[in-house]
Structure 1
Amino acid sequence: MEKDIEKSLLKEPDLSYGHYTYADYLTWEMEEMVELIKGKIFKKAAAPKRIHQWLTGNLHTELNMFLKGKKCQTYIAPFDVRLPVNSKNDDKIFTVVQPDICVVCDLGKLDERGCIGAPDLVVEVLSPSNNQVELRHKYEVYEESGVKEYWLVIPDSQTLLIYSLVNEKFKASRLMTTGDLAQSSVIQGFELNLEEFFGGFK
């Protein structure tokens, strides 16, 4: 009880404490962007590499253009995605992530604070500082929450993995690279030419 009172008053939360909620998250005044995964805080890199921002921005643009006039909407970080388990109350939500890109087709999940519930498509562009978070912690919460498709873009090797949710478990595509055409099974008709996508960075 005493620990709960102390943590609710913190503007700079104790990173070692592992039971924070979205209600706590809303009170923090931190310079760094953070994410909350199963109650534990993960700091995001303050300034990703230029290639990260370039790839993220270009893929977001491609998705936006493709989805124009359709019911799905695409968002780019910073954008809070709350992933509730048993309750949508702020003090019962223990995971709040900021995917690089997300596409939401159930517009009822959107509110003025972001998205509550699993997006249909999530894209993460890896950075050296966040690989562990994306590869393990985020993979788990995306799968458990029911994200239908998860794209993992790896700039250093110019590769892409697509995880599709099948029977509540992610199934990985083969590792795709330049010369391949990536296709979404969730955003019907969306394709990404990886040679053009990666090759445009100078």
Structure 2
Amino acid sequence: MESKKTHTVHEPDLEYSNYSYADYLTWEMEEVVELIKGTIFKKAAAAPKRLHQRISAKLLTRLYVFLEHRTCQVYSAPFDVRFSKKSTEDKKIHDVVQPDICVVCDTEKLDERGCIGAPDLIVEILSPGNSTVELKHKFDLYESNGVREYWIIHPETQDLLIYNLVDGKYVPSRLFTSGDVVESTVLKGFALDLEEFFGDME
């Protein structure tokens, strides 16, 4: 009987680009990291800014109250979302991200480690640590894996852009700002009055 080899990674090589979720589970790193196509993306080493956290907490609360007693469930980071079209084996999953907020309506996708498959809605709240490359990769990842609705919130300018999946491609909304009432196409009945939502954000 062939014995299994064990391999523990504590400090991954950031230049390497074929890591899997199995590798990810072995890492002991202070920074929050994500995997996109096997490549490591570090989130900002410092904690998110206070405004980022206020927006996240407020939106999470609104979504939680709206979804209470409904099938869909809402989660906030840290929460692993694993994407894989071919296999659910840890060593064959090369895309693992931690969206700021995500909503999952198919509870079969949920397990004790997070979500395996596309959430129905993902919200990313931008911070100075977000790189253009990271955002481009995430856009492609969410689109190609079928995330139906993708919100991007800009805390500093207090505006919101929504991408809706139509025939497998994202269609952007106009830029929503103060005075707009934003409605979700995925969560029917959920609306956000941006003037009221951002009104006490300083």
User: Normalization by structure 1: what TM-score?
Assistant: 0.94
The 3-state SS of whatever aligns with 2:192 is strand
* Mapped partners of 2:146, 2:21: distance in 1: 19
Partner of 2:180: 180
Residue segments in structure 2 that go unaligned for 5+ positions in a row: none
The one-letter code of the counterpart of 1:164 is N
1:21 aligns with 2:30: no
Higher helix share: 1
1:159–1:185 Cα change, 3 Å: same
Task: Report how far residue 199 of structure 1 moved.
Answer: 1.7
Partner of 1:112: 112
User: Normalization by structure 2: what TM-score?
Assistant: 0.94
* Mapped partners of 2:177, 2:131: distance in 1: 19
1:124–1:134: 8 Å Cα contact kept in structure 2?
no
Identical aligned residues as a percent: 61
Partner of 1:190: 190
Runs of 4+ in structure 1 off by over 2 angstroms are none
Partner of 2:101: 101
* Mapped partners of 1:70, 1:120: distance in 2: 14
1:126–1:134: 8 Å Cα contact kept in structure 2?
no
Task: Report how far residue 137 of structure 1 moved.
Answer: 1.0
Partner of 2:150: 150
The one-letter code of the counterpart of 1:34 is V
Task: Report how far residue 157 of structure 1 moved.
Answer: 1.4
* Mapped partners of 1:200, 1:119: distance in 2: 29
* Mapped partners of 2:186, 2:117: distance in 1: 16
Partner of 1:30: 29
Count of aligned positions: 197
1:159–1:176: 8 Å Cα contact kept in structure 2?
yes
The 3-state SS of whatever aligns with 1:14 is coil
Instruction: Give the CA RMSD over aligned residues.
Output: 1.4
